[in-house]
Structure 1
Amino acid sequence: MPSDHPKPVLRPSDMFDRLFESEDPAEVSRAAHMTAQTLLARVRRDQDPEVVERLIGFASAHGVDDIAQLWARSPAASLPGALWRLYLVQLSIHRDPHTASLLYERGRRQLPTADPIVAGAPDPARPDELVLLIDTIMRGVFTGDLAVALDRTAAFCRVEASGATHLADDHETTEPERSTALTRRALRLAAFAEELRVAARLWRLGDLS
């Protein structure tokens, strides 16, 4: 007989009984690293498909407040910092897949690199396909090679940054405010791309913790 009580959603913070309430930077850092390492190790060890799917959909279903509390202040070149950035990229696509598709398609046409191939989006990349892409990449975080997931997300961010830059140029004269917003977005995406690239290299070296 099936249970009347659904399984609880696995929240990263549920595992650790609020390990840090203080503002002590050392304690916050310690807890951030511990939660990221333990969460990743636990999911990779158990390989429970239901848990993996809940973690993939966590940010879209519940926002990023819990994740931010755990990992947002962590350095980019750390496991919690890298996971935080992965969730932010995923959430940005889920919240506005149409803009993500617009930027990606423009960036793909303009960027003379292999980044579109590394990211792995179909050609053309429709909004629903980009949602599927980022969820597939996130699944690789928990079930595959984390470095590959980081590299694919970095490549995706570089394509999007290129698209945002070129669209900003298009609107510079006619819509300066939109151009400015797109330029800021391009800078954030470019920064994320570099940070995720470095995180992937550190993971391969065994130095991402």
Structure 2
Amino acid sequence: MSEPPRHARPILAADLERLVEGSVAGEPSARLELAHATAAALVSVGRDAAGDPSDRFVRLADTVGLDTLADLWRGAPPDSLPGALWALYLLQTWCTENGAEVARLYRTGRSLAPVDEVVAGVRDDADPDAIATVADSVLSGLYDGDLGVALERGAAFFRVVAAGRLFLASEDTDGDAERERAGRNRACADGLTRAAAAWRAGTLR
């Protein structure tokens, strides 16, 4: 494939936004098909562009807005390609906008999930910059690395954070909310793990 044109960033953003506008009122089955189609196209174009800086793919949520990606992919099964992309772009946004909170949860959880900590690959200091760097690195791996490894790193990160949440959860109402969030983190991890296995089996879509 030839090198993407220099104006690919705005075209990508406009195309995704147009697709969302046309799908909001569509049938659920049609919206799910659109989710699969856009996710597959994005990963295909991004991987074909390997060697060209993939920052425009890593920064997709900044370009089109997280709400646009949510409208496209949030309703897809968590172990599907669009569901996995949604989880990883959500993770990146969370790590960027709430880095101190994520770092605190991660540092708490890493001794409770040592294998997952190694897989996630966060620097020892696990400060907000290290957390954001790993979230970017995981997304970059979708496009210029082993996609299965990228999904497994994302899953491991979610598991470490979930372990930290559970450890820090208090016994009051706020603790119940934290345990619920930990459950959602674990669900994201499980979906990404299944997606990685499906990718290796050639069945991920």
TM-score higher than 0.5: yes
* 3-state SS in 1 of match to 2:10: coil
2: distance between equivalents of 1:10 and 1:98? 34
Note closer, same or farther for the CA distance 1:166–1:80 as it changes in structure 2 (3 Å cut).
same
Q: Over aligned residue pairs, what C-alpha RMSD do you find? A: 2.2
Q: Which residue of 1 aligns with 2:93?
A: 91
- Distance apart, 1:7 and its partner CA: 6.5
Task: Give the counterpart letter for 1:132 in structure 2.
Answer: T
Partners of 1:32 and 1:80 within 8 A in 2: yes
2: distance between equivalents of 1:149 and 1:39? 16
Note closer, same or farther for the CA distance 1:46–1:109 as it changes in structure 2 (3 Å cut).
closer
Note closer, same or farther for the CA distance 1:10–1:138 as it changes in structure 2 (3 Å cut).
farther
1:205 counterpart = 2:201:
yes
Q: Deviations over 1:157-194 (max 9, x none)?
A: 111000000000xx32xxx2432232122111111111
Q: Percent identity?
A: 36
Unpaired stretches in structure 1, ≥5 consecutive residues: none
Larger radius of gyration: 1
1: distance between equivalents of 2:67 and 2:12? 11
Q: Which residue of 2 aligns with 1:29?
A: 32
Q: Give TM-score scaled by structure 1 length.
A: 0.86
Q: Which residue of 2 aligns with 1:20?
A: 23
Task: Give the counterpart letter for 1:35 in structure 2.
Answer: T
* 3-state SS in 2 of match to 1:110: coil
Task: Give the counterpart letter for 1:182 in structure 2.
Answer: E
Q: Deviations over 1:133-175 (max 9, x none)?
A: 110111001111111000001011111000000000xx32xxx
Partners of 2:100 and 2:128 within 8 A in 1: yes
- Distance apart, 1:128 and its partner CA: 0.7
Tell me the matched-pair count: 198
2: distance between equivalents of 1:141 and 1:95? 21
Partners of 2:92 and 2:135 within 8 A in 1: yes
Q: Give TM-score scaled by structure 2 length.
A: 0.88
Partners of 2:43 and 2:143 within 8 A in 1: yes
2: distance between equivalents of 1:8 and 1:100? 29
Q: Show the 5 A alignment for 1:1-209.
A: 8-9=9-10, 11=12, 14=15, 17-18=18-19, 20-47=23-50, 49-50=52-53, 52-60=54-62, 62-111=64-113, 113-168=114-169, 171-172=170-171, 176-209=172-205
Task: Give the counterpart letter for 2:32 in structure 1.
Answer: S
Task: Give the counterpart letter for 1:41 in structure 2.
Answer: S
Task: Give the counterpart letter for 1:167 in structure 2.
Answer: L
Partners of 2:16 and 2:68 within 8 A in 1: no
- Distance apart, 1:16 and its partner CA: 8.6
- Distance apart, 1:9 and its partner CA: 3.5
Q: Deviations over 1:44-74 (max 9, x none)?
A: 1122634x20221222455311111211111
2: distance between equivalents of 1:124 and 1:178? 28
Moved over 6 A (4+): none
1: distance between equivalents of 2:107 and 2:62? 23
2: distance between equivalents of 1:14 and 1:157? 30
2: distance between equivalents of 1:134 and 1:82? 13
